[in-house]
Amino acid sequence: MAQDCIFCKIVSGEVPSDTVYEDEELFVFKDINPQASVHLLVIPKKHISSLADVTEEDYGLLGRMMGMAHLFAAKAGSTNGFRSIVNTGKVGRQDVFHLHVHVLGGEAPLPPMIYRNS
């Protein structure tokens, strides 16, 4: 657990979240500021700052995060596809430095790209 990491605090329960799924490695919860009717965040319980900080030992974990995303999307009501986004570092406009995969979807097709105002 990294001190002052909001997502580590969500994993530990110190900060509440709308939890969708949890196992020994992964934690999935609803984004607090949804950009689509389904907007989940899939994170590792282990603190990894970003996709630029993964090491070979994390490859299996990353595989599970991406490989299980369709199950979380479908369970949340996005049964005809979804979009997964990983913002990385300054260039990728990452705000929270605990690795996360955004899973965005819903019943209707998403816009060509998702833009945030801030």
Q: How far apart are CA 39 and CA 30, in angstroms?
A: 6
| Dihedral sign from CA coordinates of 24, 59, 93, 101 | negative
Partner in contact with 2, chosen from Zn ion, ligand 5GP, none, beta carbon below 5 to 8 Å by kind: Zn ion
Nearest approach in angstroms of CB 76 to Zn ion is: 23
Six-digit token pair at 26? 């992964």
Single-letter residue type at 101: V
Please report whether residue 5 would count as binding ligand 5GP according to CB under 6 A.
no
Residues in 10-69 at the binding interface with ligand 5GP, rule: CB under 6 A:
15, 17, 29-33
The residue annotated as part of the active site, out of 39, 47, 98, 100, is: 100
Q: Does the annotation mark 100 as catalytic?
A: yes
Rounded to 5 degrees, φ, ψ at 89 are 65, -170
Please report whether residue 6 would count as binding ligand 5GP according to CB under 6 A.
yes
Q: Which of 43, 94, 104, 106 binds ligand 5GP (CB under 6 A)?
A: 94
Number of chain positions touching ligand 5GP (CB under 6 A): 13
Distance between first and last Cα of the chain: 28
> Would you mind telling me the total number of residues written for the chain in this entry?
118
As annotated, the active-site residues are 100
